[in-house]
Amino acid sequence: MEAAVIEVFESVAGFLKESTVLGDINETDVIYTRNRLLDLLGLTDYAEPKHIKKQNRLHYLDEMVKDAVKRSIINDTPAERDMLGSRIMDVITPAPSLINAAFSELLSDCPKKATDYFYRLSQNNDYIKTRAIRKNIVYRSPTPFGALDITINLSKPEKDPKDIAAVKNSPEHRYPTCLLCMENEGYAGTPHHPARSNHRIIRLDLAGEQWGFQYSPYAYYSEHAIFLSSVHKPMNISRDSFRRLLAITEIFPHYFAGSNADLPIVGGSILSHDHYQGGAHEFPMAKAGSLYPFHMRHFPDVQAEAVKWPVSVIRLRAKDPDLLTDAAAYVFEKWREYSDETVSIIAKTNEPHNTVTPIARRRGTDFEIDLALRNNRTSEDYPDGIFHPHQDVHHIKKENIGLIEVMGLAVLPPRLKDELAEVKKYLLNKPHDIKDIHLPWAENIKADKDVTPENAAAVLQKETANVFLRALTDAGVFKMTPEGIQAFQRFTTLLENGS
């Protein structure tokens, strides 16, 4: 028997052994599972290897995929490698009904035990791309508003030209309708659509509707969860949104839950499917202090305050989630109709411009909801958005300030890894290939800072965080200036009086 074939048998055997050790398959199921793997790998023969070198299970997965490429079972493209890898991991992933039953049983005992189980499973079966996520550049940087989280996102794979060509030459794709539809569960994948064979979704009842709960494959923070409607419908902020977000924190009191805004420019990247995000991470905004408290006449049992944060936020807190839902809906309805042209806020033209980015969490026995006030209007001076990162910071952050960014976590594009390395060389007067878009910024840093080989990396991290802070400030409808705070107070006075 050829050595190459013996090697893939070793990978199959090692994969099965590690899967039994991890408890993902029972000894009784080893032969059955092996035969499923052999079929996926285009093999009709098998010989039990005499020796198996101990490796991580993902190592065996990689070796099986590499072998399939060598034997032309699949083409050597990221999409096809990912599709086969996903199908291999599906072999040791329980069916959705079994996972939902186990989750439900754990949930009745302890919500954290339930999410720990599902999170571990989603990591162990390689649905959460732990190895790719580790490539991200992550750090914290102090600012006057507290430490901001900075991430240069390197985890999502680049499209291969062969995959792009395959998409262009294939029929129009309609199923699953989008990346967040329930139909993704177990979907094998195509060049159009990522592999989801090993994907599982927990079913949840949220305020009388069926929703799904899953984790993000390319998580930006700890236990990055996604809650998605079982129906493909557009993002929409309403009273029901606030009730559902608070319901999530009732089910999972150790998680926050938030929604992107529902309008272009201020919304997230997927506005076509109603969904929320959540998880175990405590974001910088959650730690932000009070700018000033105020009291709403119609809601005497709800604590309210403006938050000291660059994006304009109203924080509400109460013990009763239904009361808090009503209060949040009241603030939202007032904001949706609110205009103050002295600070460029116009609620409507031929379309609505005001909405909110809501975030719910628990504070002990209290429920808390933050409403980040958003406006998506554009102007001749700011064609990308008046309350969007302005053009002078686009060299670092041009994309929407969505839910995650609002809370103080910068998700910066992968291009910055190499571009900032050239900026660093420029600051140190070394040969460089700095891009023109970074030159004015780099010149300002050089003029303002004494940059040395010892402090260059720290200086660049700090200055990048300062640009992100500026992007957040641009997104704030009421600036943290005396004039901006007075304008903020005019709006909260309206809320106080109930008029």
> pLDDT of 327-363, one tens digit each?
999 999 999 999 999 999 999 999 999 999 999 999 9
Residue 499, pLDDT score? 65
Residue 303 forms beta bridges with which residues? 317
| Separation between Cα atoms, residue 213 and residue 379, nearest integer Å | 39
Whole-angstrom Cα Rg for the chain = 25
Span 91-99, mean pLDDT? 97
Share of the chain above pLDDT 90, in %: 91
Domain with CATH 3.30.428 in the chain: 130-408+486-497
Residue 245, pLDDT score? 98
Please report, as a single letter, which amino acid is at residue 246.
L
pLDDT in tens, 123-177: 999 999 999 999 999 999 999 999 999 999 998 655 444 444 444 455 566 899 9
In the DSSP assignment, the letter for residue 348 is B
Span 368-395, mean pLDDT? 96
Backbone angles phi, psi at 118, to 5 degrees: -70, -35
| Separation between Cα atoms, residue 53 and residue 472, nearest integer Å | 51
Helix (H) or strand (E) holding 227: strand 225-229
Please report, as a single letter, which amino acid is at residue 104.
S
Residue 4, pLDDT score? 57
In the DSSP assignment, the letter for residue 388 is S
User: CA separation (Å) from 244 to 175, 267, 332?
Assistant: 27, 18, 15
- Burial of 322 (C-beta count, 10 Å sphere; 0-12/13-18/19+): exposed
| Separation between Cα atoms, residue 410 and residue 141, nearest integer Å | 11
Helix (H) or strand (E) holding 30: helix 30-40
Nearest to 478 by CA among 337, 292, 284, 345: 345
- Burial of 337 (C-beta count, 10 Å sphere; 0-12/13-18/19+): exposed
Helix (H) or strand (E) holding 412: strand 409-412
**pLDDT at residue 45 tops 90:** yes
- CB < 8 Å & 24+ apart, contacts of 47-52: 47/1, 47/6, 47/9, 48/9, 48/13, 49/6, 49/9, 49/10, 49/13, 51/10, 52/10, 52/13, 52/14, 52/17
Copy the structure tokens of residue 326: 């009503």
- Topology of domain 130-408+486-497, CATH: HIT family, subunit A (3.30.428)
CB 266 within 8 A of CB 250: no
| Separation between Cα atoms, residue 310 and residue 313, nearest integer Å | 8
| Separation between Cα atoms, residue 332 and residue 407, nearest integer Å | 18
Span 418-433, mean pLDDT? 96
Residue 5, pLDDT score? 66
